[in-house]
Chains A and B, each alone.
Chain A
Amino acid sequence: MIIISAIIEITPQLLRGLGITISVLLASAIIAYIVAFVAGLSRVSNNVILNKATGVYVEVFRGTSLIVQLFWLYYAIPMLFGIQLGSNWWTGVIAIGLNYGAYLSEVVRGSILAVDKGQTEAAIALNMSRYQRMRLIILPQAVRMMLPEFGNYTIQIMKATSLVSLIGMRDILYYGDIMRSTNLSQAPLIYVIVLFIYFILALPFIWLTRKGETIAKKGVVS
């Protein structure tokens, strides 16, 4: 009974951070998706400069940790260039978006390259331009293949949103930390509830990922 009343007391406190967690998730996911397509397409383009420059971006952001990138944007950019990336919210969203955009761009690139070469050849035989081939033939098939991985990475993005508590954003984890510092004995319970909330948030994406896998299987076999 004590536990239940504790849960009833703690949960609403934590949920005060829900809005921030969800808004950071949605915004950084959208940025990550856009970056992923722009960078992924650049990686398969014939333009050597574009291709190489994007390659450097991808390797740098995949090869270093998100938390360091976040701190770098948060502390270093204002010091070096005297500019703010907007609010803390924007800093967090940009860091997460760029980091996962780098990973996802590899998914985009890999899926485009995985489309059977015969598809491109058939499109050439119908006299399609490079652009038409990409838009009408390759991308629609590649996107189906991407869906499961996009789902997986979106779950990871959701988990990564908790890092914004480190730059003062009041998300779910932030409220968990606050409550623990005033009430240390409740720490185990508080973090169990935090975990549980994140799990509930992940459920729709887990479901979408499954769904994506079925679509991916259906859409690409000829």
Chain B
Amino acid sequence: MSNVLTENKKNSVSLSTEPIVKYLDVKKSFGDTHVLKGINLEIRPGEKIAVIGPSGSGKTTIIRMLMTLEEPTSGDIIVNGKNLWKMEKNGQLVKANEKHIREVRGDIGMVFQHFNLFPHMTILENCMAAPIHVKKENKDEVRERSIKMLERVGLGTKLDFYPSQLSGGQKQRVAMARALVMRPKIMLFDEVTSALDPELVGEVLEVIRDIAENDDMAMVLVTHEMEFALDIADKVLFLDQGVIAEQGTANEVLVDSKNERVQSFLKRFRKA
């Protein structure tokens, strides 16, 4: 445990930096189900945050709102000082239009549980599509960068393969390369190993560890891999019944927490 702590220190983020993301009393309901009941959260540049908690506690919903896949029922999400879901119009705050949302979410990337690769494109094309069409970058430069990125995740020999020709672990590594070539400042991971066969989990975690150690982007990982969270996270959030029930360093939450719900969650978790 103690060397884990020093590991963390090395990566840890100075608290004086301005947060890149702020959740201000964010609530989310689906119909009558109040899933999130007031989330306040700050993400600093480069910070690695693990989100844990029981199934249905709203972990996925928290990061989906930041990726603009789900609209908050109330509250604000601020990214780089700009309100993600609202914009100013004639001196009033109104619901943001697509143009505003695209401007604000440009620094955010996400990796999904089920990969969501584009099946009609090769894995190289998967990586190249967005930099070329969204960021209007030079095609040759994007190709070079995409190839480097695919090599980095260990798929440099499969550039012309289609997703259907790859294993789950390989698909997920492509999905990470695809997100990385966009050079996001914040990467969101939603249980990216839980759809994988157990023997493929390791290779995907290795890539995440590599990103965490060598890239300076902020990362938010929703995960059931406690050991892994303990290892790489600067901060762990324990989500329960729609609120952040506990937060702190990995050791504070996963090892030393006196919170009963955290303990029973971890106990149940170890049994499973």
Contact = CB atoms under 8 A, between A and B. Distances in A.
Interface residues on A, range: 20 to 34
B119 A125 contact: no
Interface of A is mostly: helix
B110 A219 contact: no
B106 A127 contact: yes
A140 interface: yes
Interface in B79-100: 98
Contact of A127 (B69, B105, B115, B164): B105
A128 B133 contact: yes
Interface in B105-149: 105-106, 108-110, 112, 114-120, 129-130, 133-134
Contacts of B28: none
A59 B164 CA distance: 38
A23 interface: no
A219 B163 CA distance: 10
A222 B117 contact: yes
B11 interface: no
B78 interface: no
Contacts of A141: 118-120
A222 B122 CA distance: 11
A121 B69 contact: yes
Interface residues on B, range: 20 to 34
A124 B69 CA distance: 8
B117 A126 contact: no
Contact of B130 (A128, A144, A220, A222): A128
B217 interface: no
B258 interface: no
A4 interface: no
Q: Which of B108, B133, B182 has the most CB of A within 10 A?
A: B133
A127 B129 CA distance: 11
Given A121-B69, A221-B164, A222-B163, A127 B130 contact: yes
Interface in A183-208: none
Contacts of B171: 222
B130 A219 contact: no
Interface in A95-128: 116, 118-119, 121-122, 124-128
Nearest to B188: A125
9 interchain residue pairs of minimum CB distance: A126-B130, A122-B116, A118-B116, A222-B119, A125-B110, A140-B120, A127-B134, A222-B163, A127-B106
24 contacts: A116-B116, A118-B112, A121-B112, A121-B116, A122-B118, A122-B175, A124-B69, A125-B67, A125-B109, A125-B110, A126-B109, A126-B129, A126-B182, A127-B134, A128-B133, A128-B134, A129-B134, A132-B134, A136-B129, A136-B133, A141-B119, A220-B119, A222-B115, A222-B171
Given A125-B69, A129-B102, 5 more contacts: A118-B112, A118-B116, A121-B69, A124-B67, A126-B109
